[in-house]
Amino acid sequence: MPVWRKKAYVPDLRRFGALCEANYGRIRRLRLLAEGRTEVAEFELQDGEAYFGRVRIEQLQQSRFTETLLLEQVHNAGRWLNNPQLTVRVYHDAGLAEVISCYRNRRIEAINDYPNRFMHHPDEKTQVNAFLADWLSFCLRFGHVPAERIAWPVAE
């Protein structure tokens, strides 16, 4: 009788790198939309009359080549079960952005044994970065700075 062995999970580094590179570009565009490179940037998510909430990007740490950001949806009028809240490490020298934790307290392992205590998937880190890609794309599509925060030129 043959003995079946479970194949070890091998991460797809090419896919993961592409996700992180694309997320870097999305975060840069969002920060430009929401006031440029400030310590805290906020913008609204809205499509016509449909209000999806407010997104906040807060700089937690900064060094010469990296920074750590907290991206969170702070108000959503009850449309989501949970507001997304992700800590993202941005590597400016490499042009990459990767999720390092979810909901401020959970470190995401690169590879998880399966099954595990929290039932995380073996490719949990890739899945969370793919979620970030989808969420950032949504923010780019529906995000705008509220009119009251735009500095209008004074007519003379």
Q: What is the 3-state secondary structure (H, E, C) of 52-106?
A: EEEEEEEEEEECCCEEEEEEEEEECCCCCCCCCEEEEEEECCCCEEEEEEECCCE
Q: Which two tokens stand for residue 35?
A: 């006031």
The torsion angle over the Cα atoms of residues 123, 23, 137 and 77, rounded to 10 degrees, is: 80
- pTM of the predicted structure, to 2 decimals: 0.79
**pLDDT tens by residue, 46-98:** 888 888 888 999 999 999 999 999 999 877 655 555 788 899 999 999 999 99
Per-residue pLDDT at 26: 95
CA distance 151 to 129: 34
Per-residue pLDDT at 48: 87
- Ranges 100-104, 114-118, 122-126, 149-153: which has the least confidence: 149-153
Helices 13-33 and 124-142, axial angle in degrees (round to 10): 30
Place 152 in a pLDDT band, splitting at 50, 70 and 90.
very low
Residues 18, 32 contacting (CB under 8 angstroms): no
Three-class SS of residue 125?
Answer: helix
The residue that leads in pLDDT, 146 or 99, is 99
Per-residue pLDDT at 144: 80
Q: Give every CB contact of residue 119 below 8 A, 6+ residues apart in sequence.
A: none
Three-class SS of residue 112?
Answer: coil
CA distance 61 to 41: 15
Mean pLDDT of 16-22: 95
Measured between alpha carbons, how far is residue 34 from residues 18, 20, 88, 146 in Å? 24, 21, 17, 9
**Quick check: 114 pLDDT over 70?**
no
